């Protein structure tokens, strides 16, 4: 065999059990154990066909990711219609977006306890039921208050699904496919956002209540997942942890197609028994035990840090407000802005596919670092686009009498007028320049037209003045659109899925549910922070200032990943704990720094095989080329 995919590692965790024995002039540093046997099976696993049932599990699990993406992405286009039909001010727009995220933060925090108590399967079933209830309520909402309640209910389902689905997929996946299968959840998230954008585009042509169909259609995939999961098994690791050994054995046999069943069963069982022995029957709060134990404390720091920087990079500002951002960039038509937002969502989906292909080839660390570099450059491009628009903002040339005594009459350019939510820009153009422009107070009942002046009556007749609320006419829209597409092209393969993939891997079984719950809560908390403050930050710092701020935060995230994120590619879940045995943020150092050439003679193997001994602190690995 040849190629990197054929250079399969048998990584034997040694730790405290490292022994030395001499034989045939060769120094052996391997102790046979069930965990070692499970690791040794990985070479043959790569050559054996993966049972299709594993992909069925991943598909139905990842429908939770699809719902996550749909319910968070659909609000981008729906908001353009809602703010007109329900006359939503900035606060209500941010509430309808961030209420879902806030509810998700709360439910993800409780999701760890629910996963440990009820299991992964029941939690996923519960999340899909909650999605269904929320979708029905959103589709039938008579006013903005009921709409807010529906968004909160949907958020509760999103929070549980967001931390349960990656864990479930990781626990049922073979090691050589775990990265790809967990990343499929992120692929479904971006796919949900793309489908949501397309639905936004289709229903934007309805003269009334188009948003009801946009928001209510989430019931369909929720119902499919709910029915499908009735016939799917529980995680074998959770079953073994609860002492249900026969069920666990049956599930492993089913998802592995009868291959390497005993080795995997023994490895998981030995890991659980060792954890129980080390805990000495301590049944206290898991989070306290995690913080007291060095490796899990470091893993939690890395996992939560990744989730924090994912949100601080501004991804959900782009996804929630993509149509609004495009309008801010000078796209005046709602329908055009919605369809262009669909293009950006499609970019997100396509490049997440690239991430699925790369994750087990490049590894988590390299993929994340490359993603952050490109994300920072793209955010800087967005900032430059808005800066050029601001520097070339059309002036206010007319100052009609303002009977409302608003502050709008004080502004001398469209840029300053547009940043005031109580004002809008009224102008005429001849396709080459803007003229007869004024800054007018917005109508209190609808943002569709001004309260006074030439734009006080909404009309699209030829030669009539144009009312621009929340945007300025500019020739630099193409830079913002390019920046959005490049941003998603770099973000989607790496920083989109990797925080979820890494968090599903880096905790031992006893801490896996709680660790994922904590990291998901951090993700949703910063999601709330970013989505709730974006419009206000834009008003204070201007739009280019907001994107330059996100650029600086991404640079900090790049430094964090560079120093703290280890590579987990190809390792058994039970082995990864050893990566965090060293001091804090020394784990990011390449484990290729310390190599010892290791040759096994033909007398001990059927053919000469070359490998590498990798030393990381007290942990040793043998890497054998199959």
| SS3 track for 526-559 | HHHHHHHHHHHHHHHHHHHHHHHHHHHHHHHHHH
Of 38-42, 283-287, 300-304, 375-379, give the lowest mean pLDDT range: 38-42
pLDDT score of 601 more than 70: no
Instruction: Annotate 129-175 with DSSP letters as a single string.
Output: HHHHHHHHHHHH--SHHHHHHHHHHHHHHHHHHHHHHHHHHHHHS-H
Share of the chain above pLDDT 90, in %: 19
pTM of the model: 0.67
pLDDT score of 26 more than 80: no
Enumerate residues 6+ apart whose C-beta is below 8 A from 298.
580, 584, 587
Q: Average pLDDT in the 68-88 region?
A: 81
Closest CA to 580 of 298, 366, 271, 300: 298
- CA 105 – CA 101 distance, rounded (Å): 6
Instruction: Annotate 380-443 with DSSP letters as a single string.
Output: HHHHHHHHHHHHTPPBP------TT--GGGG--BHHHHHHSTTEEEEEEE-SS-EEEEEEEEBP
616 forms beta bridges with: 619
Residue with tokens 């954008």: 197
Give kind and range of the element (H or E) at residue 22: strand 21-23
Instruction: Annotate 266-309 with DSSP letters as a single string.
Output: HHHHHHHHHHHHHHTT--S-HHHHHHHSHHHHHHHHHHHHHHHH
Residues 492-533 have pLDDT tens digits of 999 988 998 899 888 887 888 888 889 988 988 898 788 778
Higher pLDDT, 584 or 624: 584
For residue 465, the model assigns a pLDDT of 87
Residues 119-176 have pLDDT tens digits of 999 999 999 999 999 999 999 998 889 999 999 999 899 889 888 888 888 888 887 7
pLDDT score of 600 more than 60: no
Residues 321-368 have pLDDT tens digits of 666 677 666 666 767 777 877 887 888 888 988 888 888 888 889 999
């Amino acid at each position: 065999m040849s190629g990197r995919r054929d250079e399969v590692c048998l990584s034997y965790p040694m730790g405290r059990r490292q022994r030395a024995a001499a034989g045939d002039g060769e120094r052996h540093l391997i102790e046979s154990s069930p965990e070692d046997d499970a690791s040794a099976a990985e070479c043959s696993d790569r050559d054996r066909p993966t049972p299709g049932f594993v992909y069925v599990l991943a598909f139905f699990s990842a429908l939770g990711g699809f719902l996550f993406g749909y319910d968070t992405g659909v609000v981008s286009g729906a908001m353009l219609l809602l703010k007109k039909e329900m006359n939503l001010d900035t606060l209500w727009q941010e509430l309808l977006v961030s209420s879902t995220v806030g509810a998700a933060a709360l439910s993800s925090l409780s999701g760890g306890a629910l996963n440990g108590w009820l299991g992964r399967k029941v939690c996923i079933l519960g999340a899909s039921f909650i999605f269904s209830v929320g979708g029905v309520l959103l589709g039938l909402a008579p006013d903005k208050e009921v709409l807010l309640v529906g968004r909160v209910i949907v958020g509760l389902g999103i929070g549980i699904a967001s931390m349960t689905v990656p864990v479930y997929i990781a626990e049922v996946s073979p090691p050589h496919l775990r990265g790809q299968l967990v990343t499929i959840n992120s692929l479904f998230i971006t796919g949900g956002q793309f489908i949501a954008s397309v639905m936004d585009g289709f229903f934007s042509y309805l003269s009334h209540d188009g948003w009801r169909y946009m928001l209510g259609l989430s019931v369909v995939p929720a119902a499919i997942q709910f029915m499908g999961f009735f016939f799917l098994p529980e995680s074998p690791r959770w079953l073994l942890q609860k002492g249900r050994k026969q069920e666990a054995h049956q599930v492993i046999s089913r998802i592995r197609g009868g291959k390497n069943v005993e080795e995997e069963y023994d490895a998981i069982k030995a890991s659980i028994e060792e954890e129980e022995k080390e805990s000495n029957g301590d049944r206290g709060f898991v989070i306290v035990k995690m913080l007291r134990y060095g490796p899990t404390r470091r893993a939690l720091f890395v996992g939560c840090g990744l989730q924090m920087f994912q949100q601080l990079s501004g991804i959900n500002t782009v996804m929630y407000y993509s149509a609004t951002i495009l309008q801010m960039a000078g796209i005046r038509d709602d329908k055009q802005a919605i369809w262009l937002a669909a293009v950006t969502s499609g970019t997100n989906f396509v490049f997440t596919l690239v991430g699925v292909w790369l994750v087990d080839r490049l590894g988590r660390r390299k993929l994340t670092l490359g993603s952050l570099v490109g994300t920072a450059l793209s955010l800087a491009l967005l900032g430059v686009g808005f800066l050029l628009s601001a520097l070339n903002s059309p002036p206010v040339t007319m100052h009609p009498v303002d009977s409302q005594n608003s502050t709008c009459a004080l502004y001398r350019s469209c840029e300053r007028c547009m940043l005031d939510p109580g004002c809008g820009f009224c102008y005429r153009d001849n396709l080459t320049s803007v003229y007869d422009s004024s800054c007018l107070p917005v109508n209190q009942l609808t943002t569709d037209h001004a309260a006074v002046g030439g734009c006080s009556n909404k009309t699209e007749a030829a030669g009539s003045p144009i009312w621009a609320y929340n945007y300025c006419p500019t020739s630099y829209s193409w830079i913002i659109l390019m920046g959005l597409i490049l941003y998603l092209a770099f973000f989607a393969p790496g920083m989109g899925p990797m925080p979820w993939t890494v968090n599903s891997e880096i905790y031992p079984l006893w801490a896996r549910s709680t660790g994922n719950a904590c990291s998901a809560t951090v993700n949703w908390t910063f999601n709330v922070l970013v989505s709730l403050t974006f419009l206000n930050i834009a008003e204070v710092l201007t739009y280019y200032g907001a994107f330059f701020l996100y650029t600086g935060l991404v640079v900090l995230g790049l430094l964090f990943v560079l120093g703290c994120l280890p590579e987990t590619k190809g390792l058994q879940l039970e082995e990864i704990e050893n990566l965090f045995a060293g001091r804090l943020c020394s784990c990011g150092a390449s484990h290729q720094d310390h190599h010892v050439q290791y040759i096994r003679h033909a007398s001990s193997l059927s053919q000469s095989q070359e490998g590498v001994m990798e030393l990381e602190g007290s942990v040793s690995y043998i890497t054998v080329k199959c």
